[in-house]
Amino acid sequence: MIFVFHLTYKPDSGHIRTKALPEHKAYLGLQAERMAFAGPLTSDDGATMIGSLLAIDFADRAAAESWLANEPFTKAGLYGAVSIHAFNNLWPQKVGFPA
């Protein structure tokens, strides 16, 4: 089942993000085969990063929550708000996971 992670950063936490970014990217890379999409959320200027949006296939919610608990940005204390939702992909895509 695909789970979508909506993750927003704490204010003034850019230094935390910068320091943990290499480890974060490596950790995400371990899920490459199960990832539908992943990327930063930005403010309306399109450049200022304010969070992340990830969609990853996990066996169940417990596995998704466990993965997030060990994610480097989580461990570094970057996220101010976190939500996880099961997601059903009903729209055909040209790339990524099949509908």
Which is it for the CA torsion 98, 8, 30, 46, positive or negative? positive
pTM of the full structure? 0.88
pLDDT score of 95: 60
CB count, 10 Å around CB of 96? 11
Per DSSP, the three-state class of 64 is helix
Per-residue pLDDT tens over the stretch 59-68: 999 999 999 9
Rounded Cα distance between 67 and 4, Å, is 12
Give the β-pairing of 79-87 and 35-42: unpaired
- The confidence band for 93, taking pLDDT boundaries of 50, 70 and 90, is low
Per-residue pLDDT tens over the stretch 18-29: 999 999 999 999
Tell me which residue has tokens 């200022």: 48
